[in-house]
């Protein structure tokens, strides 16, 4: 091997056929372009996932209207307002429990004190009972009946809203002897 011989080889060498040596800046540009592309792709996937979760939850907790609701019944309340009115269906505000659910006391700003019956939707006849009460009580008007002010039907929740009876249930006076008899003014 000699340097004089390599000069001859160098003169015969076609430099255009040699591969280009990558410039250090070009490698950094490719790396940053790849990194930006991956970050944008990750952001799109995250936002699509969050959007899917939002739509799923919105559909799951949507208030569904059926044909009987259009024809019958009083005012329809939104779940959020009844939840706030009863302070989250707090145990301290529970008035009683029956065969088809629990009753809670609440207060709505424009209406005042209300009683909210949370119908037990796990019972076989829970939905039938709910529809029957909305249809019958919503159309009945009598001075001796507590009027049904409205209802709320949200997936998983069936609520009936009526006026709050400050003197309690008539049941207490009729069937429990501990209470004194009612005066005519009550």
117 is in an annotated binding site: yes
Q: What is the mean pLDDT of the chain?
A: 78
* 95-126 pLDDT tens trace: 888 777 889 999 998 889 999 988 876 655 66
Q: What is the pTM of this model?
A: 0.57
Task: Determine which of 88-102, 104-118, 127-141, 163-177 has the lowest per-residue pLDDT on average.
Answer: 163-177
Residues 146 and 163: beta-carbon distance below 8 Å = yes
Domain assignment present for residue 81? The answer is yes
CA 13 to chain centre: 75
Domain assignment present for residue 77? The answer is yes
Spatial CA neighbour of 117 closest among 128, 132, 105: 105
Together in a domain, 71 and 153: yes
Together in a domain, 55 and 72: no
* 86-97 pLDDT tens trace: 999 888 888 888
Together in a domain, 87 and 164: yes
Q: Output b/e per residue, 63-72; b: 16+ Cβ within 10 A.
A: eeeeeebeee
Residues 165 and 114: beta-carbon distance below 8 Å = no
Dihedral sign (CA 117, 73, 128, 84): negative
Please indicate whether residue 79 or residue 21 has the higher confidence score (pLDDT): 79
Domain encompassing residue 154: 67-175
């Amino acid at each position: 091997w000699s340097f004089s011989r390599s000069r001859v080889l160098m003169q015969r060498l076609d430099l255009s056929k040699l591969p280009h040596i990558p410039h250090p800046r070009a490698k950094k540009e490719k790396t940053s372009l790849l990194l930006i592309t991956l970050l944008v792709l990750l952001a799109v996937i995250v936002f699509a996932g969050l959007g899917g979760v939002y739509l799923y939850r919105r559909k799951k907790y949507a208030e569904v209207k059926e044909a009987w609701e259009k024809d019958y019944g009083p005012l329809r309340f939104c779940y959020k307002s009844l939840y706030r009115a009863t302070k989250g269906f707090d145990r301290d505000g529970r008035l009683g429990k029956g065969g088809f659910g629990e009753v809670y006391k609440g207060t709505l700003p424009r209406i005042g004190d209300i009683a909210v019956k949370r119908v037990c939707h796990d019972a076989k006849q829970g939905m039938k009972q709910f529809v029957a009460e909305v249809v019958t009580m919503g159309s009945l008007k009598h001075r001796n009946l507590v009027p049904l002010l409205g209802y709320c039907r949200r997936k998983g929740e069936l609520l009936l809203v009526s006026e709050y009876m400050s003197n309690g249930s008539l049941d207490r006076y009729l069937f429990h002897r501990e209470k004194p008899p009612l005066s005519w003014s009550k």
